[in-house]
A = this chain, B = another copy of it.
Amino acid sequence: MLDPKSSPQGVVVLDVGALLERLRARGPRVHCITNSVAQNFTANALLAAGCVPSMTLSSDEIGDFVASSEALLVNLGTFDRERRKATERAVEAARRDAIPWVLDPVFVDRAAGRASFANLLLTRSPAVMRLNRAEFTALANAQPAECALASFADEHDVVVAVSGETDVVTEGTRVGKVANGHALMAKVTAMGCAASALVAACLAVEADAWRATVGALIIVGVAGELAGETAQGPGSFAVGFIDALHRLDAPTLLARARVT
In the complex, the answer to whether A43 meets B110 with C-beta atoms within 8 Å is no
In the complex, the answer to whether B247 meets A47 with C-beta atoms within 8 Å is no
In the complex, the answer to whether B242 meets A234 with C-beta atoms within 8 Å is yes
A232 at the interface (CB under 8 A from B): yes
For residues 165 through 223 of chain A, which have their beta carbon under 8 Å from a beta carbon of chain B? Answer: 187-190
Within 8 Å by CB of A189, from B53, B77, B243, lies: B53
Bound form: Cα–Cα A77–B234 in Å = 25
A112 at the interface (CB under 8 A from B): yes
Interface residues on A, range: 35 or more
Give the Cβ gap from A26 to chain B, nearest Cβ, in Å: 16
Name A114's closest neighbour in chain B (CB-CB).
Answer: B61
In the complex, the answer to whether A47 meets B243 with C-beta atoms within 8 Å is no
For residues 72 through 105 of chain A, which have their beta carbon under 8 Å from a beta carbon of chain B? Answer: 77-83
> A190: which B residues are within 8 A, CB to CB?
40, 43
> A48: which B residues are within 8 A, CB to CB?
187, 233-235
In the complex, the answer to whether B234 meets A47 with C-beta atoms within 8 Å is yes
> A38: which B residues are within 8 A, CB to CB?
40
A64 at the interface (CB under 8 A from B): yes
**13 extra A-B contacts, CB within 8 A, seeds A43-B190, A233-B245:** A36-B39, A43-B189, A44-B188, A48-B234, A60-B81, A61-B111, A65-B107, A232-B247, A234-B243, A234-B246, A235-B239, A235-B243, A238-B239
